[in-house]
Amino acid sequence: MDLTFNSGDEAFRTEVQDFIAEAYTDDLKQRMALSRNGSIGKDAIQMWQRRLAKKGWLGINWPTEHGGPGFSQTQKYIFDIEMSKVGAPSAGNMGITMCGPVIMEFGTDAQKAEHLPKIRAGEIWWCQGYSEPGSGSDLASLQLKTEVKDDHFLINGSKTWTTYAQYADWMFCLCRTDNSGKKQQGISFILIDMKAPGITIDPIVTIDQPVAGQQEVNQVFFDDVKVPLENLVGNLNEGWTCAKYLLQFERGNSHAPALHRALSGLKKIASQETSGRGDRLIDDPDFRMKLADAHREIQSIEYNELRIFAELNAGQAVGARSSMLKLAGSEMGQKLQMLGVEAAGYYSLPFDRDTFGVLDGDTNEGTPGPDYASRLAPTYFNHRKTTIYGGSSEVQRMVMAKAILGL
């Protein structure tokens, strides 16, 4: 295992830094600074994604044959580190990170030609139609009724928790096309145009919900929605294979760069806040112990990620260890957010729903306490999601128990 960066990697780091200096402009920085929960709105996200796409860096995981930059695992890691250092918006979207790889692997030539260039250019927005009311962790029990008619599928039912469905042009969707066999059989992976007649979107209001229209999750209803048969990806009734293939991309991201940034933000807060004894919180022995514990855990996550990326570079598979990365990274993120709320104390408590999210001309004026305080509770509440979506912590532990420990 070689964990050092070579001169080529260091040159790449400089290239990323140069790109950030030019593309991460003041207007985007301002939006990120004002966002209480990380949401900056569709326009700003797309502006950022198009800048990345212009450089050829939107799909950093994509192979060169599909227009990706062909980064090594190490380069991807360096890219993440540099983006996290400056707090840039996430480069990924569900088209790039989830649907694109499935189309590359299972799609027809026509599907590849139609969708991949637009995904790579950041032109279209995708949402994920997996979960249903009653089918989340036990995803294979999904029942979205999908009948095969002459030249189309006829879809009736609903999907839920659909992130940013209101922004989406397309949905990649798991549909029930047959109920006669085992529950994993009879599922089909279908691409659905969100403008198709019969689709309605109901916002789900969450505790940190941003301004109207910027809600994060939705329930999507299908009422006699017709979808052309050629939108089927892979074979009819074999969509579970695509679904499982996709999950490894949903769970296999690096967390350490963002965790390091969050820890350093927490230290800054602790150096401005006072402890119960009147000294700086960062000098308080109990809080210092918590910071030290967090630092140690993040180091361990980072070395695990680097070890796995080194193995990927050497052509080995991640397999169920993507569950380990997802579990450790998401739970550590939540611990840091809890410490942030603890550090700011009373100032993190005021909670005004209307001030969340970002609108043009928005400012932090009017919120009590230091600027950082107004973000702490919304971020804390919003990030409860990270140990639920993409498979809850309990489910990740089950996967590891079975696939890694052989229990």
Ligand X SMILES: Cc1cc2nc3c(=O)[nH]c(=O)nc-3n(C[C@H](O)[C@H](O)[C@H](O)COP(=O)(O)OP(=O)(O)OC[C@H]3O[C@@H](n4cnc5c(N)ncnc54)[C@H](O)[C@@H]3O)c2cc1C
Footprint of ligand X on this chain (CB under 6 A)? 127-131, 136-137, 161-163, 216-217, 385, 388-389, 392, 394-395, 398
Q: What separation in angstroms does the CA of 182 have from each of 130, 186, 219, 237?
A: 18, 8, 27, 11
Smallest separation (angstroms) from ligand X to the CB of 362: 23
Q: Are 263 and 293 in contact (CB under 8 A)?
A: no
Any idea what DSSP says for residue 328? H
Nearer to ligand X (CB atom), residue 250 or residue 297: 250
> Which residue's beta carbon is nearest to the bound ligand X?
136
H or E segment and range at residue 344: helix 321-344
Smallest separation (angstroms) from ligand X to the CB of 128: 4
Residue 372, burial from CB neighbour count under 10 angstroms (0-12, 13-18, 19+): buried
**DSSP code string of 65-118:** GGT-----HHHHHHHHHHHHHHTPPP---HIIIIIHHHHHHH--HHHHHHHHHH
Smallest separation (angstroms) from ligand X to the CB of 121: 22
Instruction: Give the integer Cα–Cα distance in Å for 65 and 62.
Output: 8
Nearer to ligand X (CB atom), residue 317 or residue 401: 401
> What single-letter amino acid sits at 149?
K
* Three-state secondary structure string covering 116-162: HHHHHCCCCCEEEECCECCECCCHHHCCCEEEECCCEEEEEEEEECC
Q: Are 231 and 239 in contact (CB under 8 A)?
A: no
Smallest separation (angstroms) from ligand X to the CB of 357: 15
Residues in the chain: 407
Instruction: Give the integer Cα–Cα distance in Å for 186 and 174.
Output: 10
Smallest separation (angstroms) from ligand X to the CB of 341: 19
Smallest separation (angstroms) from ligand X to the CB of 127: 6
Smallest separation (angstroms) from ligand X to the CB of 390: 6
Smallest separation (angstroms) from ligand X to the CB of 152: 23
Nearer to ligand X (CB atom), residue 21 or residue 207: 207
Q: Are 53 and 120 in contact (CB under 8 A)?
A: yes
